Structure formats: structure tokens, C-alpha cells
Amino acid sequence: MSAPEPAPVPDAATLEAVDRWVAFRLWHTRTPGAQVALGVAGVPFFSRAYGWANLEGDVAMTTGHLFRIASHSKTFTATLVLQLVEQGRLGLEDPLSTHVPALADDPLGGVVVRELLEHTGGVLRDGRDADYWQADRPFPDVDALLAMAREGGLKTAPGERFAYSNVGYSLLGLVVEAVTGETFADAARHGITEPLGLADTVADHWAERAGDYAAGHTGLHTAARRRAVPHVGTGAMAAATGFTSTAHDLVTYFGAHVLGDDRLLADRTKRLQQRLVSAGDPRADDGSGYGWGMVREKVGEQVFVGHSGGYPGHITKTLVDPRSGLTVSVLTNAIDGPATPLARGIAQILAAAAEAGGEPTASARAWTGRYANAWGVLDVAAVGGRLRSLGCTEWAPLEARDELVEDGDRLLIAEGAGYGSVGEPVTRVGSGIRYGGMTFDPLPDLPGGPGHRLGVG
């Protein structure tokens, strides 16, 4: 079988379009700040920071600020488990009690490693008292985790259904410790972060670099203003939700899960890890679901794997196409941060650029920019060399949008939705444009500059 064809690196005009769209969506949703990194096969070609790392301290976000990446941690844990399976030190059908003898007298002890990997073990999601997620109490230590697991028991028979479980992945962390004889943090360092040179990634809160974290913020769904949320350690649940990283590091890490890269796992194992085992939502019919520590989903016709993460004050998302190597990582520092729709919207723009496969002419680039009137905001963007309108106020930036072609000293709306102005011209009006018969003035900067002060606590 021939090696997969790597994704093309987008041209500069396409990346400018991505940059403008992301910046506006963050401002429009009043998200404090974000990191966005894009890459192919682990090599970043775009890395940006937006907004503020801390609203209360007027600290601008940088690409070096640390984030809690929450359930991204499950991809690391599953990778460590599968490394041990490849080494013959662990069996996928090993009962949990083989490696965690404290559960030998509990029904939970009969759940096998594979069922924990794919969330089919019937284990409670977060325990009967999960208010550690709201900082009402500390995350559990090992004794508290085991007690929490025993108290919950099995809510369904093992193998009966997909039921996402942070408790289950935390127990996998204990399995990794038992097999390796190391702490989970050391196992992650030796098995993943050191081999890949991930200088900004560790398995839990990094106390020695506490000042390097982007502050987490509360959401605007419960109050008109945001407030900062302190970072805490995740104790025995680090394997499920504890990891710290940056968008740049995550592009490198997920690049090692691309087919043809054997630094972490063999391709045969990666295919097993990334295949669809269970539909995440049995009511959905979109081909999305879960493998072994990897979420599988489609953006248009492109299949991605990866994970999202929700830590108090940080919402994150990474997508990787395991064949082409295209990787999109978005980290936001608010509990209502739009990491997933941002990542999917970026993937949509990049897919359109790859399909077009060109670069814009100088005359086409002269039309690009952001324009606004009382009815909305419009980006004229060069995506893969083709002029397109982008929906700045929408999460699907190219859905039902127009394709534009040069027609002398004007543009023509060549294709688009019938409800729009297909077949009509776009002309210059001073420094603005007339589009669909209406004048749009240039909007070169976001209100408030590179950050924004709305939502400050």
C-alpha cells in the first residue's frame, strides 16, 4: 500500500482568511483569548495567539501560554496503554483487577482494559459526587478514586453500550502505573513527551510554571461578566483530564498519530485506536463516535480523529486527518469557549483551499478584506486562489456563501445560494464595496483592537 498523500500547506492568502475569521469569531463571542495552531504531519505551519490570557490582569495571550487540555488526556493515556500492549506487557482483555488488586472483590474488577479504552465498561462517568468539577472539593486521590468507583458500581453490563467515563480512564492511569512501576506522570514523560520533544506538555498542573498558564474564565451563560478560575491539580484523575499543553505542542503530538509515523505506535495499532467502535450519540447518523481514546468525526467529506477537552475555564479541541496529516488545534480560555466550532470552521476553509489548489493573482488579492454595514460583516477572501465570501458571524464560514470571479474592474457573484445575489456585480465604492446592491464600508480592525474588554470580571 502506498503512503498517504500529505495535505498541502495552504497559501498565505488562505491563512490570512483563517486568521481574520478566527479573530472575528472570538471577538463576536466575547471569548477572552485563544491559541490556534495548524500543521501537517506534526510540523506546524501556522501558530497564533488571540485576545487575552487573563482579563483581570490585562495579560495578552501568547503562543507560549499553557492550557489545561482536559480530555485530550485520554488520547495520551490510550497511547501509553497501547504501547504497553505492543510491548507484550499488558493485554487488552486483562481484567482490571489483574493490575488493580484493590478491586478484586468488586464487580468493577472484571471490566477489561479494552472496555475501559472504548468506554463500554459500564463505569460511572464522574462518580456520585462530581462537584470537584466545580472546585467545591479537590479532585480525588487514589483512595478516593477507588472508593468513588466502588460506590458507583457498574451502571450497565460491560460491553452493553458506550458510556463515556472519566472514572474509567482514571483507572487506566492506575493500570499504567502498575505495569510500568512509575508514576503516571513519569510514564507519560518517558513514553510520549520526551520522545517527541514536547517542552510544554506534562500530565497535570505544572506548579513550577504556574505563572505561564492562561487564566481560565467563567462563562457568559450565568453572568454578564467573566471571572478568573484558579487552576488546580487533578490528582488520580490526571489520566482522564489532567494534561497541560499548548496548541503548538498538540500539533506535534497528534502528528505522531498520522499513518506512516512509527514514533509512538505502529500503524496497525493506530488503525485500531482510530477506528469507530461506538457511536458517541446513538441518535446521530453522521459517522461520528469513539475508538480507543480517540473521537472520530467528519467535517464535510473529510474524516478526522482527535479529542475535545473541558476543564473549568478552558475548552479545547484538536482534529487530525490520520491520512493526510492535517492537524487543527484550538485552545480557548473560557468555560463557554467555542473551540470545537472554530476547529471545524478552520477545517472547512482548509478543505476548500485544498480543493481549489491554487494561489490568487495580485488583482484578486487586492479585493480581499473585511467590510461591514448595518446588516452584517462580510469577508472577501482568497481561499486556495479562488475569491469567496466568508460568513464572519457564522460557524460554517463557507456554507451557502458566494464564489466570486474577476470581471474587468469589478467582481461577479458567479455561484451561491439562490436567496443571494448570484449573477450580480461587486464594485468598488470609495474604499468600500457595493455587494448585492448595498454598500459595505471597510472594517480593518476589530472593535477594541487585538483584544476586547467586554466580559471583564
Give residue 450's pLDDT.
43
Percent pLDDT > 90 in the chain is: 87
Residue 381 in contact with residue 73, Cβ under 8 Å?
no
**Quick one: average pLDDT of 295-301?**
94
Read off the pLDDT band of 455 (50, 70, 90). Answer: very low
* Cα dihedral 324, 290, 281, 336 sign: negative
Read off the pLDDT band of 3 (50, 70, 90). Answer: low
Read off the pLDDT band of 406 (50, 70, 90). Answer: very high
Mean pLDDT of the chain: 93
Read off the pLDDT band of 213 (50, 70, 90). Answer: very high
Name the pairing type of β-strands 33-40 and 386-391: unpaired
Give the CA diameter of the chain. 80
Give residue 397's pLDDT.
94
d(CA 82, CA 277): 16
Give every CB contact of residue 199 below 8 A, 6+ residues apart in sequence. 249
* Tens of pLDDT, residues 352-397: 999 999 999 999 999 999 999 999 999 999 999 999 999 899 999 9
Q: Could you tell me the pTM of the whole model?
A: 0.95
CATH T-level topology, domain 362-442? Lipocalin (2.40.128)
Give the DSSP letter of residue 105: T
Give residue 446's pLDDT.
63
Give residue 445's pLDDT.
65
Give residue 25's pLDDT.
95
d(CA 321, CA 319): 7
**Quick one: average pLDDT of 317-322?**
98
Give residue 7's pLDDT.
86
Beta-strand (E) ranges in 269-341? 289-290, 295-299, 302-311, 314-320, 326-332
Give residue 452's pLDDT.
45
Give residue 62's pLDDT.
97
**pLDDT at position 293 over 90:** yes
Read off the pLDDT band of 116 (50, 70, 90). Answer: very high
Q: Given CATH 3.40.710.10, say whether it is the number of domain 30-337.
A: yes
How many beta carbons lie within 10 A of that of residue 411, not counting itself?
22
Each domain of the chain, given as residue ranges in start order, spans: 30-337, 362-442
